[in-house]
Structure 1
Amino acid sequence: MVFATVGLAGFVLTLGGLAFVRVYDNQLIRQTEMELLTQGAVITEVYRAMLAEQVGSRDYGKPRTAKWPFPIPDDQRLRPILPSLRASDEPLPSDDTPPRSLVPGEPLALDVGQRLRPVLENVRAATLAGIRVVDAGGVVVSGSGMDLMGASLANRPEVKQALHGLPTSVLRRRHSEPEDTPLASLSRDTGIRVSVALPVIQGERVWGAVVLARTPMTFTKALYSDRWNLTATGLVLLSALALMSLAAATLLGRPVRALVRQTRAIAASAPEGFEPMARPVVAELAELSESLAGMASALRDRNQYIRSFAANVSHEFKTPLASIQGAVELLRDSADAMTPEQRSRFLSNVDADAKRLTRLVQRLLELARADSMTATPASVELGPLLKALVARSDAAGLAKVDLGPVPEGLTVALPAEVMDDVLWQLITNAGQHGGADVQVSLSVETSSTGATHVVVRDTGPGISEANRARIFDAFFTTARARGGTGLGLTISQSMLRAFGASLELRPAQPPNPGAAFAVAAPPASTQRK
């Protein structure tokens, strides 16, 4: 979102800047056009009033053939003239020196134009606009200069439209001049000129037209003329941008620095590295911090497990290896002095310790496989599997197993071999710890969450309170003398965990003190993928 916002902001600013330049160019052109329209409207009215005194009631000029191009309000006395030019309009050729008219100007128009010329010259001196007044035939009868007197402007498009009664504004090309270059000069060095032609209308007749021309202000000179205000505004905007950038850098930089500190704390095993950072601001950084904290905690727990596991393995291997080494040394040093019974006893001890080491290695391999087991979709029907376990226990002579009622077709989301191994481990544990007369019962329960619990309960002496807390620890066993490795329940837990199942130690049910375990398995329909 941050990068998208920055990119969008850059796009909007670029587009806005281009649009501003274009709109500003349009505004400069329309400002010049509006100035010319305002001057022209006054001059047109003055010329019409002066000419009306000379014309009187005579039928003067020519009929008006064009409708007023702008909407006329309800008040019929109003006749608005609105600017219409745009910077994108195609400019006409430059207004080169027009040809001399073959027909002289209308006498009344010439007389009025002669009296109006001083006013036009004063207006030009103040506004720098070129002003020409033409009669109904398009002949120049007055102006702000004498250079075009008697020339014909009738062929110019804007003048043609004005002589039909239609006010017209056009853009014309302009030749650049050497004095246009300095920014501080009054001359406007744009390549176009605004030309406005306003008809002189009396009733429904056109008595002539007033033509005005002026070069619009260029964008560069407009900026130069307003440079101090623009500089102040720019400084304010830059300050605001700097403050916004500083705020954004603070908001983003602080959590990034906190994230760096967290990674360094993790590397140094400092406690603060295992907690997500506070107030991360950005959701992605919060998620990354939580992931780092979770990963660090998992690695720490795994490291502690490996250390404890390595220490336990070392301890479990050290005892039988020391026994084997001691027996071998005795046999090597005193074998000839020993009786056959003594040698046989020592060799039996070596054999028993070697078998114990073999069982430990085998169980460790099983634990490794259980820890790395990958869950694949599988299910098993409980009824046949539990009946097979009862028959197997009877055949092995381990313990008498009673099977409670099992719902027909009940299926759990566990592989058959995993369920079989775990339940068989619980049955053999009951036989090892419960004695020769121990009895085992298998029952099936269904919880409110839909999970199925297979309960294995025996009638043995049970598990003491001190041992209940350590029953699932690796290498913990109370049957070491009988060959126990203390890894059976740990392996069972690891296998079940891979499939979203669990192994629980349940409390004893008086008056029976025996041990009770439950395998909690999800139903087949909710198996983890």
Structure 2
Amino acid sequence: MASAIGSPFPDRRARPRLWMVFAAVGVAGFVLTLAGLSFVRVYDNQLIRQTETELIAQGAVVAEVYRSVLRQQVDPAHYGRVSTARWPYPVPDDKRLRPILPSLKASDAPLPPDETPEPSHLPAERHAREAGTLLSPMLEQVRATTLAGIRVVDSEGVVVASSSAELLGTSLADRPEVQRALQGEPTSVLRRRYAEPEDTPLASLSRDTGIRVSVALPVLEGERVWGAVVLARTPMTFAKAMYADRWNLTATGLVLLGAVGLMSLAAAALVGRPVRALVKQTRAIAASAPSGFEPVARPVVAELAELSEALAGMATALRDRNQYIRSFAANVSHEFKTPLASIQGAVELLRDSADVMSPEQRARFLANVDADARRLTRLVQRLLELARADSMTATPARVELAPLLEGLATRARAEGVADVQVTPGPAGLAVALPAEVLDDVLWQLVTNARQHGGEGVRVGLAVESDGAGPVRVVVRDNGRGISEANQARIFDAFFTTARERGGTGLGLTIAQSMLRAFGAGLELLPSQAQGTGATFAVVAPAPVTQRK
């Protein structure tokens, strides 16, 4: 009968735990979501900065053209206003270079929408207005290509050139980006955008967006500001970019969908296939099929491997228990059958022939009935003891060996059971067993020695311990010993060579069951030579407090 439930062939290969699989799926989903959100934000930033970069490039060209036209008409040393702002971008060693870098982000707070500018109360500066007149046709052509609104203002913020003729003569001096540009600082801002009736979804490149990028670049001549170029355009958005590239994105989406499908199939292989194999295994166990007693092959996940091994171990234990019960029932039936048949035969003879029997014959038959009845009583008592031993529950216990062994020897001498000699171990040495369990087991071994060795048998009780592992209580006698043929069956239930002396063959079986409940065991040790007696050892763990 199996002593513990467990797979007979445990597979200890490293496998991922089930929580690892679910954690990996969760982390992957979180990372993908975070990556998607980050990608959208980074892509939006990139689109805004791309629009800002384009406006800066266009504005730099317009500013240079405007400055060149004005330079032919004015005194550079006295025209315009003095620059009061520091250049906001790093300046290379070559002082002739003044780079303007994009700086806007999608997370920047947008300013209110552009209001329709009012006509300026101040007339535009004459030279600026003349230069603007030359630029306006070019700006209208540029707007048709770049879709950007472009305005040139003089040093007071009055529009002198524009890609839209209706804005000429209006003032932009109240706008923060224009004010900073007129101080000599390039400025980029986001502004909210009014929805217009002609807006169309997705397909429009310059509409259907809630913000506009506005760039104001100063027109610089040395340290003087001659005016500013103001550009505005609606940036491309993530949604519109996706719409523009919808066919490629659709193909990519189909590829990703296929990848997700493959991942789903992989997850099904990780969990679904082993679970189905476990269901098949349980059905095989229910049908007592041989495949139910073997763990599932390639369970992948560690918990499923452990579950399959536990099911195989449980099935093996149930099979062994069933075989044990069948063998036990057959042995009990055999043990009860012989005395019952003898009692029944004696009763029939007494019923039929009691009148013709002599008193001595009747007494002999009655003595046989009494002996068989007593044997049945002993069998019932031992079976009850075996049932209690099999169902015994281990509880924390501790017993010192020296006093118990001395008491056992004194009891044996008093009852004339055997000549018992004790060799105690170290003082205070104890084992993790209840005193009554160890006493019952050792008494069984002592009485067995007398039963099989006769009146003059000598029994030695010795304790062996290395101070680290289990403690061994060795019981040796000088009887006839146990033959090699019987050594393999010595612990089988109902096996005895002393049946005629009242032996039931259950003593050692009961002792094994009692010790097993406490993690201890009973062993038959090899004898030095045939006929030199039997040697048993009770192997018991030391108490936890004794371990170092």
What is the TM-score with the length of structure 2 in the denominator? 0.91
Which region of structure 1 is more displaced relative to structure 2, 358-367 or 498-507?
498-507
- Report the equivalent of 1:490: 509
> In the TM superposition, what whole-angstrom CA distance separates every residue of 1:259-297 from its partner, at most 9, and x where no partner exists?
233222222223332222333221111121222222222
- Report the equivalent of 1:20: 39
| Rounded Cα–Cα distance in structure 2 between residues aligned with 1:272 and 1:431 | 49
| Rounded Cα–Cα distance in structure 1 between residues aligned with 2:75 and 2:530 | 136
- Report the equivalent of 1:299: 318
> In the TM superposition, what whole-angstrom CA distance separates every residue of 1:404-432 from its partner, at most 9, and x where no partner exists?
46544333332221221111111111221
* 2:368 paired with 1:349: yes
Alignment RMSD, CA only?
2.1
- Report the equivalent of 1:263: 282
Unaligned runs of 5+ in 1: none
1:398 to 388, 392, 417: 417
* 2:472 paired with 1:453: yes
- Report the equivalent of 1:162: 181
| Rounded Cα–Cα distance in structure 2 between residues aligned with 1:343 and 1:147 | 145
Contact 1:499 1:527 in 2 (8 A): no
| Rounded Cα–Cα distance in structure 2 between residues aligned with 1:381 and 1:122 | 109
What amino acid sits opposite 2:29 in the alignment? Answer: G
Contact 1:30 1:86 in 2 (8 A): yes
Instruction: Report 1 or 2 for greater relative contact order, CA contacts < 8 Å, sequence distance ≥ 6.
Output: 2
- Report the equivalent of 1:440: 459
Equivalent runs, 1:312-323 vs 2, <5 Å:
312-323=331-342
What amino acid sits opposite 1:213 in the alignment? Answer: A
Contact 1:385 1:420 in 2 (8 A): yes
CA-CA distance at 1:182 after TM superposition: 4.1
Change (3 A) 1:30 1:316: same
What amino acid sits opposite 1:19 in the alignment? Answer: S
| Rounded Cα–Cα distance in structure 2 between residues aligned with 1:390 and 1:426 | 12
SS in 2 for 1:453: strand
- Report the equivalent of 1:114: 133
> In the TM superposition, what whole-angstrom CA distance separates every residue of 1:5-54 from its partner, at most 9, and x where no partner exists?
11222222222222322333222222222211111011001111111111
- Report the equivalent of 2:292: 273
Contact 2:154 2:227 in 1 (8 A): yes
* 2:392 paired with 1:373: yes
Contact 2:193 2:210 in 1 (8 A): yes
What amino acid sits opposite 1:442 in the alignment? Answer: L
What amino acid sits opposite 2:327 in the alignment? Answer: S
1:173 to 165, 189, 192: 192
CA-CA distance at 1:436 after TM superposition: 2.9
Change (3 A) 1:454 1:145: closer
Which region of structure 1 is more displaced relative to structure 2, 80-89 or 136-145?
80-89
- Aligned identity (percent) is 76
- Report the equivalent of 1:516: 535
Contact 1:121 1:143 in 2 (8 A): yes
Contact 2:157 2:178 in 1 (8 A): yes
1:415 to 424, 434, 437: 434
Change (3 A) 1:26 1:297: same
What amino acid sits opposite 2:154 in the alignment? Answer: D
Change (3 A) 1:17 1:445: closer
Which region of structure 1 is more displaced relative to structure 2, 113-122 or 173-182?
173-182
SS in 1 for 2:90: coil
| Rounded Cα–Cα distance in structure 2 between residues aligned with 1:115 and 1:55 | 16
Equivalent runs, 1:137-148 vs 2, <5 Å:
137-148=156-167
2:251 to 183, 207, 232: 232
Contact 1:447 1:453 in 2 (8 A): no
* 2:276 paired with 1:250: no
| Rounded Cα–Cα distance in structure 2 between residues aligned with 1:434 and 1:421 | 20
| Rounded Cα–Cα distance in structure 2 between residues aligned with 1:272 and 1:511 | 45
What amino acid sits opposite 2:383 in the alignment? Answer: L
| Rounded Cα–Cα distance in structure 1 between residues aligned with 2:425 and 2:46 | 90
CA-CA distance at 1:132 after TM superposition: 0.9
Change (3 A) 1:59 1:433: same
SS in 2 for 1:179: coil
What amino acid sits opposite 2:45 in the alignment? Answer: N
What amino acid sits opposite 2:230 in the alignment? Answer: V
CA-CA distance at 1:114 after TM superposition: 0.9
CA-CA distance at 1:386 after TM superposition: 2.2
Q: Aligned residues, how many? A: 528
Contact 1:188 1:218 in 2 (8 A): no
Change (3 A) 1:526 1:331: farther
CA-CA distance at 1:57 after TM superposition: 4.5
Contact 1:394 1:401 in 2 (8 A): yes
Contact 2:202 2:208 in 1 (8 A): no
Change (3 A) 1:445 1:155: closer
> In the TM superposition, what whole-angstrom CA distance separates every residue of 1:356-405 from its partner, at most 9, and x where no partner exists?
11111111111111122222232323222222222222222223223346
CA-CA distance at 1:449 after TM superposition: 5.5
Change (3 A) 1:247 1:343: same
- Report the equivalent of 1:4: 23
* 2:102 paired with 1:86: no
Change (3 A) 1:403 1:109: closer
Which region of structure 1 is more displaced relative to structure 2, 200-209 or 340-349?
340-349
Which region of structure 1 is more displaced relative to structure 2, 261-270 or 71-80?
261-270
1:72 to 78, 91, 100: 91
CA-CA distance at 1:205 after TM superposition: 0.5
Contact 1:159 1:211 in 2 (8 A): yes
> In the TM superposition, what whole-angstrom CA distance separates every residue of 1:54-98 from its partner, at most 9, and x where no partner exists?
114451001111111111122212111122222232322222221
Contact 2:147 2:233 in 1 (8 A): yes
Contact 1:445 1:454 in 2 (8 A): yes
Contact 1:179 1:187 in 2 (8 A): no
Which region of structure 1 is more displaced relative to structure 2, 468-477 or 262-271?
262-271
- Report the equivalent of 1:325: 344
Contact 1:474 1:486 in 2 (8 A): yes
> In the TM superposition, what whole-angstrom CA distance separates every residue of 1:124-161 from its partner, at most 9, and x where no partner exists?
11111111111111111111121011111111111111
Contact 1:455 1:516 in 2 (8 A): yes
2:305 to 269, 275, 286: 286
| Rounded Cα–Cα distance in structure 2 between residues aligned with 1:497 and 1:131 | 96
Change (3 A) 1:57 1:456: closer
Which region of structure 1 is more displaced relative to structure 2, 41-50 or 186-195?
186-195
Contact 2:425 2:465 in 1 (8 A): no
Which region of structure 1 is more displaced relative to structure 2, 484-493 or 405-414?
405-414
Contact 1:413 1:526 in 2 (8 A): no
Contact 2:206 2:233 in 1 (8 A): no
Change (3 A) 1:126 1:405: closer
CA-CA distance at 1:511 after TM superposition: 7.7
- Report the equivalent of 1:360: 379
Contact 1:413 1:527 in 2 (8 A): no
| Rounded Cα–Cα distance in structure 2 between residues aligned with 1:266 and 1:101 | 96
CA-CA distance at 1:190 after TM superposition: 1.1
| Rounded Cα–Cα distance in structure 2 between residues aligned with 1:294 and 1:97 | 85
Contact 1:276 1:293 in 2 (8 A): yes
1:31 to 40, 47, 50: 50
Change (3 A) 1:450 1:53: same
> In the TM superposition, what whole-angstrom CA distance separates every residue of 1:210-247 from its partner, at most 9, and x where no partner exists?
11111122332221111112112222222222223323
What is the TM-score with the length of structure 1 in the denominator? 0.94
Change (3 A) 1:341 1:243: same
Contact 1:501 1:521 in 2 (8 A): yes
2:215 to 185, 196, 200: 196
Equivalent runs, 1:22-61 vs 2, <5 Å:
22-57=41-76, 59-61=78-80
